Chain A
Amino acid sequence: MYVQDLLNGLTSAGIYILIALGLTLILGIVGIVQMAHGEMYMVGAYVVYLFSMSMGLPYFAALVISIILVGCLGIVVERLFLRRFRGDVEGAIICTTAFILVLQTAVKGIAGPSYKDIASPVEGVVEVFGARLSWEEIVIILVSAVLVVALLVSIKWTKPGQAMMAISEDLVGATLQGINVDRLSSIAMFIGCGLAAAAGGLIGATFSLEPFMGGFALTQGITVIILGGLGSVPGAIIGGLILGLIDGLLTPQVSPTIASIVGLVIVILILLFRPKGLLGYE
């Protein structure tokens, strides 16, 4: 039974990590708290629905298209709106909160208020050491792992990746080194929103879609990045794993409510005793 709980936790962690990586990249590079990040997750799920269910494309093709389109939406939002709010915490929060309403209303108006569902890309269940894991969950774990590794590699081995880390650690220093912060902000928004879209598309195939599904993603994403460290990519991965495993391991033993409370208590303790998070910067 513990293997089942562990695998359930890894599935949850995969989603949390994708959401939190996007949020932390945007926070670290663009310098704003992207309150509409959950809505990018929701839009990502709806775009997968559009291309796979309405237009008949294969699920994975729809997922890639969703990542690209929502990433582009992120660039547009950054270029037209968020760039003006760099360093203005309140302004950015108000602006991105407005986007929550805009995106929810737009999707509800276009797609309708009823629940949508995306057909599973691979059906069936696999037994692993007595635990039952659906292929949808395996897809979540695998796709999340691939995207996380791709992101880590690109950060470690590419110039834009290194430049993004430099901005995340010291904006002024990075600017003085001639790093083009505006260009990298756009790239960070593309990656961040694309990762949110990937999470939305993955969860959409497992459960259902509705225009207000983003609130959950934002809450979990913020919890993870506080836990792991604001702006820290490894922190988002560690934080997502911790939160996912708390969900997977504690919920079956106690209750969903207590598992949520434990997660929040850990966050409060981190804020009290290590405000920079587990792997955050000073």
Chain B
Amino acid sequence: MKRLTVIVLVLSMIVALGLFAAACGSEGETTTSQQGATTTEQGSATTTAPAGGAKVLKIGVTAPLTGPSSSAGIPHMRMTEICADWINENGGIDVNGEKYTIELIIEDEGETPDSGVTAATKLIEQDKVSFIVGTISPQIAAAVASVSEPAKVIRCLWHGEGTNVELNADLPYTFRVSICPHDFAMELLKYHVEAYPEAKNITLLFIDNSAGVILAEQVQEMITSLGLTNVETIMYPVDTQDFSPIISNVMRGKPDAVVCTALPHLMGGILKTARQKGYEGPIYNLSPTSPDTVQKIASPDLSTECIVPAPDLTSPKVPDLMKEMVQKALDKHGEVSWDYIRPFNSLWVLAQAIEAAKTLDTTEVAKAWENMSFKVLEGEGTMGGLETYGINHQAVIPFAITKISGPTMELIKWVTPSIP
């Protein structure tokens, strides 16, 4: 009888999980994306295709596929796959007249520098890749440099926090094709001065980590330079689930506006709680959170006066190519947000750099990349960062300022930040 009870309980759990899967929509993961069957030369990053076909270029992808960062890592990985497919469908990478199709080799970089280094080492030593895209954590990005730079492997970081640990003059093979929070900050603050000229008192509400502390100091200077006042700076733990006490703290300072750094679910929690507690001023996020995700979590009724540096993907101001990629992501995975779309550029710009260099030699690719203009989903970009990071390896590309106003949202404008 007891055994029967256990069996019944186990079966009921399995049924419940099955129902869960059916209702939530199963999202199977892939770990490699292969384009075109080929024969592989041992110890080479390129492979020879059958007669008449294109050669294959292996490109490594390091993404957090397990652990908390996988909420961003998996969508990033999926969009990189879509980018590879799109490049291949359009003839692949043209290297001085020779066509290469991309084969992605995807490794889980986990949550720690150690696991990131292990993933990159495997790609470099075993798979012999010369190009890697990926990485979300700045700590992992810094650690992986210890293996990628000596091997002269070009890395294109998905994004970062804008510290000199991620990009600097000692990292000649590391590039980044995304905008960091402090680059968003100045443009968002300029927008604030235009849109809310009377709202001069700003409270900063930042995630409590080392990058957050550095960013807070930078943004405080920007606030002062624009004639605004920093009422106070509040740092909050990244694992916060109940924002009520924190919003009480914010409201005690009576700020006219709040500037946050927050992941999408945190931004939703901040916005929802602030409106429930009666705060009515504009709330900015310096992290490029999908406006639709923020609106969904905060609920449309409470999503008022929230400004984020990411596009409303349904806006008519979204470029056609971005719309096409949104549709591809929807067709392939059934859901899409800015978290899916934004890593697309990393692989695409890497491909453009290889084409500009007309060689797979990574030193030549790095040289060509430093000085080139390129296309991105948002429009066109150039390279910058010499003054900021000591090396011209930071892409300067447009970003959208989107305002969420209850059930509606408006892509106000595209702006290109200055990253000297």
Contacts and interface: CB of A to CB of B under 8 A. Distances in A.
Interface stretch (A146-154, A159-167, A205-213, A229-237): A205-213
Nearest to A16: B242
Interface string A125-152: 1000000101001000000000000000
Interface in A240-271: 247-248, 250-253, 255-257, 259-260
A2 to B, nearest CB: 10
A203 B71 contact: no
Contact of A208 (B13, B20, B269): B269
Contact of B20 (A11, A47, A134, A212): A47
A4 B249 CA distance: 11
B325 to A, nearest CB: 17
A2 B264 CA distance: 30
Nearest to A134: B276
B359 to A, nearest CB: 37
Given A47-B16, A114-B75, A120-B299, A75 B9 contact: yes
A176 interface: no
Interface stretch (A25-33, A89-97, A103-111, A273-281): A103-111
Given A207-B269, A252-B248, A257-B235, A76 B13 contact: yes
A135 B358 CA distance: 63
* Most-contacted residue by chain A among B26, B208, B276 (CB, 10 A): B276
A251 B70 contact: no
A221 B44 CA distance: 52
B386 interface: no
Nearest to B237: A256
Given A76-B6, A115-B268, 16 more contacts: A1-B248, A5-B248, A47-B20, A50-B19, A72-B12, A72-B13, A113-B74, A132-B276, A203-B242, A210-B265, A216-B240, A219-B239, A252-B246, A255-B249, A256-B208, A256-B235
Interface of B: 6, 9-10, 12-13, 16-17, 19-21, 23-27, 29, 66-68, 70-71, 73-75, 208, 234-237, 239-246, 248-249, 252, 264-265, 268-269, 272, 276-278, 293, 296-297, 299, 301, 335, 337, 339
Contacts of B269: 207-208
14 contacts: A5-B248, A8-B242, A8-B244, A47-B16, A76-B6, A76-B9, A111-B24, A113-B73, A114-B339, A208-B265, A213-B241, A216-B241, A256-B245, A257-B237
Could you say which interface size class chain A belongs to?
A: 35 or more
Contact of B249 (A120, A137, A207, A256): A256
The 4 closest A-B pairs by CB, nearest first: A54-B23, A251-B245, A252-B248, A208-B265
B6 A212 contact: no
A62 B248 CA distance: 31
A99 B192 CA distance: 47
A210 B245 contact: no
A280 to B, nearest CB: 27
Contact of B301 (A123, A215, A250, A253): A123
A203 B265 CA distance: 13
A59 interface: no
A264 to B, nearest CB: 12
A62 B60 CA distance: 44
Contacts of B337: 114
* Most-contacted residue by chain A among B24, B66, B70 (CB, 10 A): B24
B269 to A, nearest CB: 5
Contacts of A137: 244
Main SS of chain B's interface residues? helix
Nearest to A9: B245
B17 A110 contact: yes
Interface of A: 1, 4-5, 8-9, 11-12, 15, 46-47, 49-50, 54-55, 69, 72-73, 75-76, 79-80, 105-106, 108-115, 117, 119-120, 123, 125, 132, 134, 137, 203, 206-208, 210-213, 215-216, 219, 247-248, 250-253, 255-257, 259-260
B24 A50 contact: yes
Contacts of A257: 208, 235-237
A73 B9 CA distance: 8
A12 B245 contact: yes
A214 B240 CA distance: 12
